[in-house]
Chains A and B, each alone.
Chain A
Amino acid sequence: MAFSLMAALGIGILAWALAALGLEMFVGFILPLTAFLVFLGGMIWRVTTWARVPVPFSIATTAGQQKSLPWIKPSHIDSPSTKIGVAARMGLEVLLFRSLFRNTAAQTINDEGGPKLVYWSSKWLWVFSLLFHYCFLMVFIRHFRFFLEPVPFFITWAEDLDGLMQIGVPRLYMSGAILLVAALFLLLRRLRDPKLRYISLPADYFPLFLVIGVALSGIMMRYWFKTDIASVKELIMGLVTLSPSIPEGVRGSVGGMFYTHIALVSALLIYLPFSKLAHSAGLLFSPTRNMPTNTREVRHVNPWNPPKKYRTYAEYEDDFRDAMAEAGLPLEKEPAPGLHEETAQ
Chain B
Amino acid sequence: MYNARYIIPGIILFVVIFTVPFWINICTPEYSRPELVLPAEKDCIEPVEYMRAEHMRILNEWRDAALRDGKRVYIATDGRQWDINLQNTCMSCHTDKVAFCDTCHDTNSVTPYCWDCHIEPQTAPAAGGAKQ
Q: Is B132 an interface residue (CB 8 A)?
A: no
Could you say which residues of chain B place their CB within 8 Å of the CB of A92? none
Interface size on B, as a range, is 35 or more
| Residues in B neighbouring A53, C-beta threshold 8 A | 2
Which of A52, A169, A243: most chain B CB closer than 10 A?
A169
B2:A168 contact, CB within 8 angstroms = no
Question: How far apart sit A229 and B110, CA to CA, in the bound complex (Å)?
Answer: 10
B4 surroundings in chain A (CB, below 8 A): 51
CB contacts (< 8 Å) of A247 on chain B: these are 33
Contacting residues, chain B, for A151 (C-beta < 8 A): 106-109
* B107 pairs with A149, CB closer than 8 A: yes
Q: Does A44 lie at the interface of the complex (its beta carbon under 8 Å from any beta carbon of B)?
A: yes
**A144 and B21: CB pair below 8 A?**
yes
A233, B24: Cβ atoms under 8 Å?
no
Q: Would you call A44 and B15 a contact (CB within 8 A)?
A: yes
Nearest CB on B from A159, distance (A): 6
Smallest CB separation, A8 vs chain B (Å) = 24
Quick check: is A147 within 8 A (CB to CB) of the other chain? yes
Contact residues of A with B, CB < 8 Å? 36, 39-40, 43-44, 47-48, 51-55, 144-151, 155-156, 159-160, 166, 168-171, 226, 228-231, 233-234, 237, 240-243, 247, 284, 303
Interface pairs (14), CB distance under 8 Å: A36-B18, A48-B1, A144-B21, A148-B21, A149-B107, A151-B106, A156-B109, A229-B108, A230-B108, A231-B33, A234-B33, A237-B31, A241-B25, A241-B26
- Residues of A near B52 (CB, < 8 A) are 228
A284 touches B1 (CB 8 A): no
Knowing A170-B56, A171-B113 are in contact, say whether A145-B108 is a contact too (CB < 8 A): yes
Q: Which residues in chain B, 76-115, are within 8 Å of chain A measured between CB atoms?
A: 104, 106-113
B18 touches A40 (CB 8 A): yes
User: Quick check: A170 and B110 within 8 Å, CB to CB?
Assistant: yes
Is the pair A147, B21 in contact by a Cβ cutoff of 8 Å? yes
Given contacts A40-B15, A237-B31, contact A160 B111 (CB under 8 A): yes
Find B2's partner among A169, A229, A303 (CB 8 Å cutoff).
A303
